Amino acid sequence: MKGVERIRFVVILILGMMALGLLTWGIGKVYLELVGQSSHVKVEEAQKGQKVSDVHDSAVLVLPEARFWTCQVGVFQSESNAQLSKEKLQGSGFDAEVISVNPWTVAIGLGHSADELKGMRQSFNEKGILTVPKQIVLPERTFRVAGNGSQLTVGLLTNVNTILQKGLTAETLTEEQRVWEALAGDHPPKDMNVLHQLYSRVRAKTNFEEQSAMGLALYFEAQRVINKYSGK
């Protein structure tokens, strides 16, 4: 009888140990699953936060191909002579730029077509500045804009590209002002402030020919910003 009791006691003890082991294993599994789910949620939240940050702090800007015309003043075999010609024209109040190198070409003004430049060229001719129309073709360009004011930068550079594609219009000048007022804030990037001031100077001109004569300056300031973001 005592042998049977002992066997029963041993069986109950073994079953109890097995039950305790299963219970411990089950609790541990549930705990690990809960910890894993919590970590997964935290990782997802962190990733979502990073994506949102990326959207606000950077943007990929695609500028489609653009074709525009300018008034070519002279072609020079040396950079120094081209710079002297540019400085002389700027000293006379013209927004001249060197638009190509080797040979170096100096030009003034911006138009959507050669015909659009006729009035401007006639005005230059009356001042003793002979010009010929020259077309400029810009391929599609893509680059990332990052940092403070990225959305403002995208808006203004897109507006310049629209002017190069379609010509300088009251609508494009008004759109730049709208973008500036909506996105500039209290501390806009210095580069964008310089570009905006150029836009303001263009808007202040009293007629289309005077505005177009300054158009090349808009292009070159935008190009300087693009080169900066492209690492050039």
Q: Tell me the C-alpha distance between 141 and 220, whole Å.
A: 15
- What pLDDT is recorded for position 9? 56
* Residues 118-161 pLDDT 10s: 999 999 999 999 999 999 999 999 988 888 889 999 999 999 99
- What pLDDT is recorded for position 10? 52
Q: What is the pTM of this model?
A: 0.72
Q: What is the mean pLDDT of each run of 10 residues along the chain (232 residues)?
A: 55 57 48 40 36 54 95 96 96 92 95 93 93 95 88 95 93 97 94 96 92 94 88 67
Q: Hey, what are 85's tokens?
A: 């010609």
All residues at 6 or more sequence positions from 188 whose CB lies less than 8 Å from its CB, including other chains: 149, 152, 180, 196
- What pLDDT is recorded for position 38? 40
Q: Hey, what are 197's tokens?
A: 């001031």
Domain residue extents for the chain: 2-58, 64-229
- What pLDDT is recorded for position 36? 44
- What pLDDT is recorded for position 17? 60
Contact (Cβ atoms closer than 8 angstroms) between residue 78 and residue 176? no
At the fourth CATH level, which superfamily is domain 64-229? Sporulation related repeat (3.30.70.1070)
Q: Hey, what are 27's tokens?
A: 């609790």
- What pLDDT is recorded for position 160? 97
Q: Tell me the C-alpha distance between 54 and 146, whole Å.
A: 9
- What pLDDT is recorded for position 31? 40
Q: Hey, what are 227's tokens?
A: 């080169």
- What pLDDT is recorded for position 99? 93
- What pLDDT is recorded for position 147? 82
Residues paired with 98 in a beta bridge: 106
- What pLDDT is recorded for position 7? 60
- What pLDDT is recorded for position 15? 57
Residue appearing with tokens 């001031």: 197
- Write the DSSP assignment of the chain as a string of letters: -HHHHHHHHHHHHHHHHHHHHHHHHHHHHHHHHHHHHHHHHHHHHHHHHHHHHHHHHEEEEEE--EEEEEEEEEEESSHHHHHHHHHHHHHTT--EEEEETTTEEEEEEEESSTGGGHHHHHHHHHTT---EEEEEEE--EEEEEESTTHHHHHHHHHHHHHHHHH---HHHHHHHHHHHHHH--SS--HHHHHHHHHHHHHHHSSSHHHHHHTHHHHHHHHHHHHHHHTT-
